[in-house]
Chain A
Amino acid sequence: MTKMMYRDAVRNTIFQEMQRDPNVVVLGEDVVGGMGTAGGPEAIGGIWSTSGGFYEAFGPDRVIDTPISESAIVGAAGGLALSGKRPIAELMFADFIGVSLDQIWNQIAKFRYMFGGKTKCPAIIRLIYGAGYNAAAQHSQSPHAILTGMPGLKVVMPSTPADVAGMMRQAIRDDDPVIFMEHKALYGVQGEVPDDPDFVVPFGHARLTRAGQDVTILATGMMVGMAEAAADTLAEDGIGADVIDLRSTSPLDEEAILDSVEVTGRLVIVDEAPPRCSLATDLAALVANKAFASLRAPIEMVTAPHTPIPFARELESAYLPNPDKIEAAVRKALAYN
């Protein structure tokens, strides 16, 4: 095990896989950084410091610094993947899927199906997402719900450095297109990462991070830590919470969710995104439909409100879920009779 930051787990895993497999290619805005400037290549090394040293090690044909053209970045990833490569495209901010959505939604996600299963499209789209940086409405969003709703895509949202390493490696070796969502506020989080160069975390396997009997809390990404904090506070009052980190929203580990709710009978879903047509409502529908008999209280959802993400510190804090809101939701569920 090596202790490292979430961002280093991204970088190191991609680096190792690029050494292992010459078909792995990286492309995106400023993945080299400094191209065409006095500072020269690698003056930056990616604004999130997740591709430092790549250019020097693998050269311009495998580390492709692109213009600001998200449609072309994602489209090119699709073309590379159809041509036998394993491209990793980076969208500097997940919010930029807006300008590249056709290539994600109508192209990459559907190639295999439209072509009758006769091809594969092993492309990875890295999305750096999430609030917490006061980056306001166009640089803070968590668009996992719309992507999860697209058949053909896998959508993963690791919450720890170890999961980043295991899931990035799985994504690179996976033959289906993967939306790899990295929470920008977690980049500095430290954690132990296995040294095994073949360590993978398969998709569709949720992680139980706290075990209790009274309530199930579902979370992804940055919400996992908040759910754990709430669970720890509740534990002081003797309230036991199952905290489940979904890890991937497509495929979804239905079994883990239903098994937990069958025991606890109460469900609190934490979602960083707004509430309508969201991951939270999707999970609530799943449980209402398949574990109705086990529920002892209405399903509680702790989500962002139905608003764009505001800028000011106070406003962003009010917008985001937090441990207090989660704790209150748990107590509400427990108080229901």
Chain B
Amino acid sequence: MQLNRTDLLEAYRRMKIIRDFEDFLHDEIAKGEIAGFTHLYAGQEAVAVGVCEHLSDDDKIVSTHRGHGHCLAKGCDVEGMMKEIWGSREGLCKGKGGSMHIADVDKGMLGANGIVGAGAPIAVGAALAAKLDGKGNVAIAFSGDGACNQGTTFEAMNMAVVTKAPAIFVFENNHYSEHTGFEYAVGTDKDIASRAEAFGMKVWRADGTDFSSVHDTMREVLEYVRAGNGPAAVEFDTERFYGHFEGDPQRYRGKGELDRIRAERDCIKKFRETVTEAKLLEGSDLDKIDAEVASQIEQAVAAARAADRPTAEDVLADVYIDY
């Protein structure tokens, strides 16, 4: 791992924010206080943080319906997001988008997306814009093992190759597209990266539960793409700790599966073990962050609860700039 102490602490803090954000939401949603559908990212934190730690606000990402982690890793405001998920007019999207449509274009976050596979073409457009601007920026499409089966993803990969767009297709393989197993739904012999390879891209594969593996791989990928070599793809093998959506009874899980992945494949636990064993950080450093993050999330929830509700007039606002 090529990170200094400050960077490591920051990476841990980011992952921990995502984890606590999602764990809190899991509990709150069970109480029935939050409207709509929510898809939690817990378990995959190392991917979002390991990718986004390399990016500036001028690099763009397009996310998925499971987008909280990407948003938080890309720098979206914790409280603004919490308020959005609560449907407040003070939310990041004024209560118009909710969990599935969180965006902050100024931070280079072009939106979570409720349509599986819809993000890849948008990322290609952002990459073409970056290419035109010629400043070495990139655009990243996060996709899961579900979106990798959508035609839009294929179209986007081919167009990126044809136009030499600085796009990176990050496939987070958490083994489940909604409630269907990856082994069933992906025909290319349990492998997504080979598809991207077939479109003519250079590809990488790495363990998505190992922060250093993600971080190091992305350094290589970004060097390659920023150098003007056209698009690239990465497949990260990762784990989803909660169901497809909140309320999913997860009857498709194997016996003891969740206990096993939480014990063996928890990216935060693994990070903690690695950095403390290597004496890069002290346990107390991390405990301090844990406490700070827990209180930050609690405050965000309290703020979201107390925030202004939108009014009926707000329905009509922000459809057009000028109509």
Give chain A's interface residues, CB within 8 Å of chain B.
25, 27, 60-62, 64, 66-67, 69, 71-85, 87, 102-103, 106-107, 111-120, 151-152, 154, 174-176, 204, 251
Q: Say whether, besides A106-B115, A113-B318, A80 and B125 are in contact (CB < 8 Å).
A: yes
Q: Closest residue to A108 on the B side, CB-wise?
A: B122
Could you tell me the distance in whole angstroms from the C-beta of B210 to the nearest C-beta in chain A? Answer: 30
Q: Indicate with 1 or 0, residue by residue over B45-76, a CB within 8 angstroms of chain A CB atoms.
A: 00000000000000010100000000000000
Could you tell me the distance in whole angstroms from the C-beta of A62 to the nearest C-beta in chain B? Answer: 7
Task: Report the separation of the CA atoms of residues A87 and B156 in the bound assembly, to the nearest whole angstrom.
Answer: 17
Contact A75 B152 (CB under 8 A): yes
Residue of A76, A102, A112 near B124 (CB, 8 A) is A76
CB-defined contacts of A71 to chain B, threshold 8 Å:
121, 151-152, 155
Contact B162 A66 (CB under 8 A): yes
Asked whether B92 is an interface residue with its Cβ less than 8 Å from the other chain, the reply is: yes
Asked whether B129 is an interface residue with its Cβ less than 8 Å from the other chain, the reply is: yes
CB-defined contacts of B113 to chain A, threshold 8 Å:
107
CB-defined contacts of B163 to chain A, threshold 8 Å:
60, 64, 66
A-B contact pairs, 29 of them (CB 8 A): A25-B128, A25-B132, A61-B132, A67-B158, A72-B120, A72-B124, A72-B155, A72-B156, A73-B159, A75-B125, A76-B156, A77-B125, A79-B124, A83-B110, A102-B115, A107-B115, A111-B103, A111-B111, A112-B319, A112-B320, A113-B319, A114-B111, A115-B93, A115-B103, A116-B95, A116-B96, A117-B96, A118-B92, A119-B103
Q: Closest residue to A78 on the B side, CB-wise?
A: B122
Contact B93 A176 (CB under 8 A): no
Contact B62 A79 (CB under 8 A): yes
Q: Say whether, besides A69-B155, A74-B121, A120-B321, A115 and B97 are in contact (CB < 8 Å).
A: yes
Known: A83-B125, A116-B91, A176-B320. 9 other contacts (CB 8 A): A71-B152, A76-B124, A102-B118, A107-B115, A107-B118, A114-B93, A114-B111, A115-B101, A115-B111
Asked whether B193 is an interface residue with its Cβ less than 8 Å from the other chain, the reply is: no
Q: Indicate with 1 or 0, residue by residue over B121-147, a CB within 8 angstroms of chain A CB atoms.
A: 111111111111000000100000000
Asked whether B181 is an interface residue with its Cβ less than 8 Å from the other chain, the reply is: no
Could you tell me the distance in whole angstroms from the C-beta of B164 to the nearest C-beta in chain A? Answer: 9
Q: Say whether, besides A75-B125, A79-B139, A119 and B105 are in contact (CB < 8 Å).
A: yes
Could you tell me the distance in whole angstroms from the C-beta of A23 to the nearest C-beta in chain B? Answer: 8
Q: Could you say which interface size class chain B belongs to?
A: 35 or more
Task: Report the separation of the CA atoms of residues A72 and B127 in the bound assembly, to the nearest whole angstrom.
Answer: 12
Contact A103 B121 (CB under 8 A): yes
Task: Report the separation of the CA atoms of residues A151 and B316 in the bound assembly, to the nearest whole angstrom.
Answer: 10
Asked whether B104 is an interface residue with its Cβ less than 8 Å from the other chain, the reply is: yes
CB-defined contacts of B317 to chain A, threshold 8 Å:
117
Task: Report the separation of the CA atoms of residues A324 and B46 in the bound assembly, to the nearest whole angstrom.
Answer: 69
Q: Say whether, besides A76-B121, A87-B125, A118 and B158 are in contact (CB < 8 Å).
A: no
9 closest Cβ contacts across the A-B interface?
A79-B125, A75-B121, A117-B318, A116-B93, A76-B125, A116-B94, A83-B129, A69-B155, A72-B155
Contact A85 B129 (CB under 8 A): yes
Task: Report the separation of the CA atoms of residues A81 and B320 in the bound assembly, to the nearest whole angstrom.
Answer: 15
Contact B132 A114 (CB under 8 A): no
Residue among B101, B113, B317 having the largest count of chain A Cβ atoms under 10 Å: B101
Contact B101 A114 (CB under 8 A): yes
Task: Report the separation of the CA atoms of residues A45 and B84 in the bound assembly, to the nearest whole angstrom.
Answer: 47
Contact A154 B125 (CB under 8 A): no
Contact B320 A152 (CB under 8 A): yes
Task: Report the separation of the CA atoms of residues A312 and B245 in the bound assembly, to the nearest whole angstrom.
Answer: 52
CB-defined contacts of B322 to chain A, threshold 8 Å:
174-176
Could you tell me the distance in whole angstroms from the C-beta of A243 to the nearest C-beta in chain B? Answer: 25
Q: Closest residue to A76 on the B side, CB-wise?
A: B125
Q: Say whether, besides A69-B155, A79-B126, A103-B121, A115 and B96 are in contact (CB < 8 Å).
A: yes
Q: Indicate with 1 or 0, residue by residue over B215-228, a CB within 8 angstroms of chain A CB atoms.
A: 00000000000000
Task: Report the separation of the CA atoms of residues A106 and B125 in the bound assembly, to the nearest whole angstrom.
Answer: 16
Could you tell me the distance in whole angstroms from the C-beta of B237 to the nearest C-beta in chain A? Answer: 27
Contact B103 A114 (CB under 8 A): yes
Task: Report the separation of the CA atoms of residues A151 and B106 in the bound assembly, to the nearest whole angstrom.
Answer: 24
Contact A83 B321 (CB under 8 A): no
Asked whether B200 is an interface residue with its Cβ less than 8 Å from the other chain, the reply is: no
Could you tell me the distance in whole angstroms from the C-beta of B52 to the nearest C-beta in chain A? Answer: 17
Contact A112 B321 (CB under 8 A): yes
Contact A64 B128 (CB under 8 A): yes
CB-defined contacts of B101 to chain A, threshold 8 Å:
114-115
Contact A75 B128 (CB under 8 A): no
Q: Closest residue to A35 on the B side, CB-wise?
A: B162
CB-defined contacts of B123 to chain A, threshold 8 Å:
79
Q: Say whether, besides A78-B125, A83-B126, A67 and B159 are in contact (CB < 8 Å).
A: yes
CB-defined contacts of B162 to chain A, threshold 8 Å:
66-67
Contact A151 B96 (CB under 8 A): no
Residue of A25, A79, A112, A118 near B127 (CB, 8 A) is A79
Task: Report the separation of the CA atoms of residues A78 and B84 in the bound assembly, to the nearest whole angstrom.
Answer: 23
Q: Indicate with 1 or 0, residue by residue over B79-96, a CB within 8 angstroms of chain A CB atoms.
A: 000001000000111111
Contact B118 A103 (CB under 8 A): yes
Q: Closest residue to B321 on the A side, CB-wise?
A: A175
Residue among B92, B110, B128, B139 having the largest count of chain A Cβ atoms under 10 Å: B128
CB-defined contacts of A76 to chain B, threshold 8 Å:
121-122, 124-125, 128, 156, 159
Q: Say whether, besides A71-B155, A83-B126, A102-B152, A117 and B94 are in contact (CB < 8 Å).
A: yes
CB-defined contacts of B115 to chain A, threshold 8 Å:
102, 106-107
CB-defined contacts of B118 to chain A, threshold 8 Å:
75, 102-103, 106-107
